[in-house]
Amino acid sequence: MKVKLLILLIILPALFFMGCSDIFSSKKQNITNQIFKDGKKDPKSAEDVVGYAALLPFWSGFNQPTDVCVGFDELVYVTDKDGLHVLDRAGREYKMIPFKGAISVVQDRLLNVYVAARYDTVIKDVDPGTSWDLAAIYKLRNANGAGNLVFVDTLIHPFADASRSTYNSQVSRLVKNSPDDDELVEFTGLSVLTDNTLYVTRRGPKNEAGSVVAPDNIVLEFQPVGSSSNEMARMQNVRQIRTLSSTVPSLISGIGMSDIITFIGPPQRETMTDNRSFLVAQADQNTEIPFRVLWINAVETTDGLVFQPNTSLLSQDTSKANGFLYETNKFKEPTGLAYAADGTNYIFVVDAGTDSLYVFQSNGYEGVTPPVGSDATKPVIVSFGGRGSGPKNLDDPSGVAYFSKVVYVADKNNNRIARYKLTTDFE
């Protein structure tokens, strides 16, 4: 009996400590090593504790996603080669609307969804036997499933451009295999204003200065016909913003634009800024462009609304920040922009040339505000990337969105929507 009791006294502690090792992990295991390593970090060193953490698993099942948008209805809209995907913020998809060549998506404050894609049509007066593949913007009602899906309007290039006031000017460049063929024109970026005005970036091959017809490289402004509160209103082109040079890089140019953002975004509020300023990304790869992401100020004057460069961003005080939006040659091929309308006012840029996500403050400083209690005196740089398929790698990112402290990236060649959150934003 004493022998059995002695054996039990030896075995039970061994089993206990084996169990503890399974529960709490052995000091030899990687996870334990990481815990000890993190525990040694100085909490006052912001660089050690602030950064974007991947929210895994990423969302998959896309066919080369081109853009992502979180709407005012707080649903997530994704465009890819197949069309428009509508998801909730848990990543559950409940609708897919087919579109050819869908490249950009946005939602206005009335919950209408706009999709930049392509439109196949036959123009009998030009050639009844030929089909044309033209850039188009579709205005959708009830894309979120609130009712029957309605195609409210379709804006087709070149017919939606008010600078082409005659039918002859509209069809003059519909010439197959011509270097100026209107089939080469693209609508690339969409953004909205408080009054449901739609800004559109367009790019293409024909950019003559001084022409009555607007150049292909331009920002177009569309407004609802009749009333900005009419959910079913059709859209009309009211302005071509020609202040931006279509050929010469400067602080106010628009060469091969890939995206546009305003300072309007969810969450929905009763009163929102009426600021009509915007940022554009210039992705043209055949032109040397020192400043590829530009902030354009819209200023009311006695002569009306004018668009001016934001020259204040050229002032770069290295005692206050280590990176800047207006650093020369900062970007190689910026493809997507987003703005945090929750009061943080962060500006996000994804760059297909560097396969990276960049984060800036509204003063142009790169980085985010240091956490309370840290010794950091400058914004903490949290930009990341590099080509690959790992959680902090991207491969040809093409769109970015932000909502409720989460950043969404359309990671094109990885066929996924990657999601990230600042480590200091976790509760």
Q: Is 306 helix (H, G, I), strand (E, B) or coil?
A: strand
Q: Which residue has the tokens 């009211």?
A: 238
φ, ψ of residue 382 in degrees (nearest 5): -120, 10
User: Tell me, what's the pLDDT at 42?
Assistant: 53
Q: Is 402 helix (H, G, I), strand (E, B) or coil?
A: strand
φ, ψ of residue 33 in degrees (nearest 5): -60, -40
User: Tell me, what's the pLDDT at 373?
Assistant: 84
Contacts of residues 125-130 at CB distance under 8 Å and 24 or more positions apart, as own/partner, are 125/167, 125/171, 126/171, 126/174, 130/176
> If you ran DSSP here, which 8-state letter would residue 210 be given?
T
User: Tell me, what's the pLDDT at 44?
Assistant: 54
Q: Provide the residue ranges of all domains of the chain, joining segments of one domain with +.
A: 57-425
Tell how far CA 319 is from the center of its chain: 30
Distance CA 71, CA 220 (A): 21
Q: What is the mean pLDDT of each run of 10 residues along the chain (427 residues)?
A: 46 44 43 47 64 97 98 98 98 96 98 98 91 97 96 98 95 95 98 97 94 96 94 96 97 98 94 95 98 97 95 96 98 98 96 98 96 90 97 98 98 98 90
57-425 has CATH 1.10.3210.10 classification: no
Please list, residue by residue across 101-125, b when 16 or more beta carbons sit within 10 angstroms of its beta carbon and e when fewer do. Answer: bbbbbbbbbbbbbbbbbbbeeeeee
Distance CA 357, CA 344 (A): 17
Q: Give me 412's structure tokens.
A: 């094109």
Nearest Cα to Cα of residue 410 among 187, 125, 103, 181:
103
